Amino acid sequence: MHILGIDIGGTGIKGAPVDTETGELLAERQRIPTPAPATPDAMINTVAEVADYFKWKGPVGCGFPAAIKNETVMTAANIDKSWIGLNAGKKIQKKINCPTHMVNDVDAAGLAESTFGAGKGEKGVVIMAAVGTGIGTALISNGHLFENSELGHLLLHGMIAEKYISNAVRKKQKLSWEVFSDRLSEYLQRLEFLFWPDLFIIGGGVSKHSESFFPLLKVDTKVIAAKLLNNAGIVGSALAARNVGIKGG
């Protein structure tokens, strides 16, 4: 099934048609800067530009930087607050005249990584942690995505985890890789205690430095770096649309 995957981010909106059987992009991705302010009408118009670029007439999956429930935006950390409560799937579908499914952006990336990337073929529980400005997570069990896990909001030392251990915190506090790995180990150990995962996938901005801190981690679970990088959100958004039964070509 071919589905247009669109990754809606705080700095860019990018997309490409995806073969959801192989995870391959069927064309070079198109990227348009996210409008400022990132209001619903402005961003939806930009999504439409991406769809128009490919002259797309089939189903669409959209990864979005918020918790999503029944196609509706529930949070707005890095986007305009007017998104909250909006049925974005319905609005985008009306704008582009294509069946549309919304999914949290890190959920999309985790789904892509567990299906075609770092976690391909892995059975059991896979947790992806995108360690960047904050910590976004995806929780997947035997290929089934548990949406909107928000495990970056677990408490560590009296604060939410992403305020204690993120790539932004590492840079701001000038943490050594030893200190960073100790903090990340604490966080991953908490996830081990709660979920007994079979695999951790580390993505986000810090993943490109994996050689500097992976050997220092103190966890029992296998840890690997994300592989799909900037294509993960596109591929995962298309996969999520397929998995909910959206019809396509």
The string of DSSP letters for 33-79 reads EPPSS--HHHHHHHHHHHHHHTT--S-EEEEESS-EETTEE---SSS
Residues 103 and 195 in one domain: no
Residues 238 and 220 in one domain: no
In a domain, 53, yes or no: yes
In a domain, 114, yes or no: no
**pLDDT tier, 249 (very low <50, low <70, confident <90, very high otherwise):** very low
pLDDT per residue over 126-182, tens digit each? 999 999 999 999 999 998 999 999 999 999 999 999 999 999 999 999 999 999 999
In a domain, 18, yes or no: yes
Domain that holds residue 220: 121-227
Task: Give the pLDDT confidence score for residue 97 in this predicted structure.
Answer: 96
Residues 141 and 62 in one domain: no
Task: Give the pLDDT confidence score for residue 77 in this predicted structure.
Answer: 78
Q: Is the pLDDT of residue 118 over 90?
A: yes
Collapsing DSSP to helix, strand or coil, 107 comes out as helix
Contact 219, 189 (CB under 8 A): yes
pLDDT per residue over 203-243, tens digit each? 999 999 999 999 999 999 999 999 998 899 999 999 999 99
Q: Is the peptide bond before 65 cis (omega within 30 degrees of 0)?
A: no
Residues 84 and 179 in one domain: no
Task: Give the pLDDT confidence score for residue 206 in this predicted structure.
Answer: 95
Collapsing DSSP to helix, strand or coil, 199 comes out as strand
CA 6 to mean position of chain CA atoms: 12
Q: Is the pLDDT of residue 79 over 90?
A: no
In a domain, 32, yes or no: yes
Residues 91 and 28 in one domain: yes
DSSP-derived secondary structure letter, 10: S
Residues 101 and 144 in one domain: no
User: 186: which 2 tokens?
Assistant: 């604490």
- If you compute the radius of gyration of the chain from its CA atoms, what whole number of angstroms results? 18
Residues 217 and 236 in one domain: no
**pLDDT tier, 43 (very low <50, low <70, confident <90, very high otherwise):** very high
Task: Give the pLDDT confidence score for residue 186 in this predicted structure.
Answer: 98
Residues 200 and 145 in one domain: yes
User: With pLDDT > 90 as the criterion, what percentage of the chain qualifies?
Assistant: 90
Which pTM was predicted?
0.94
If one counts the domains in the chain, the total is: 2
CATH number of the domain to which 36 belongs:
3.30.420.40
Quick one: the chain helix, strand, coil %, rounded to 5?
40, 25, 35
In a domain, 112, yes or no: no
Q: Is the pLDDT of residue 200 over 60?
A: yes
**pLDDT tier, 41 (very low <50, low <70, confident <90, very high otherwise):** very high
Residues 102 and 136 in one domain: no
In a domain, 83, yes or no: yes
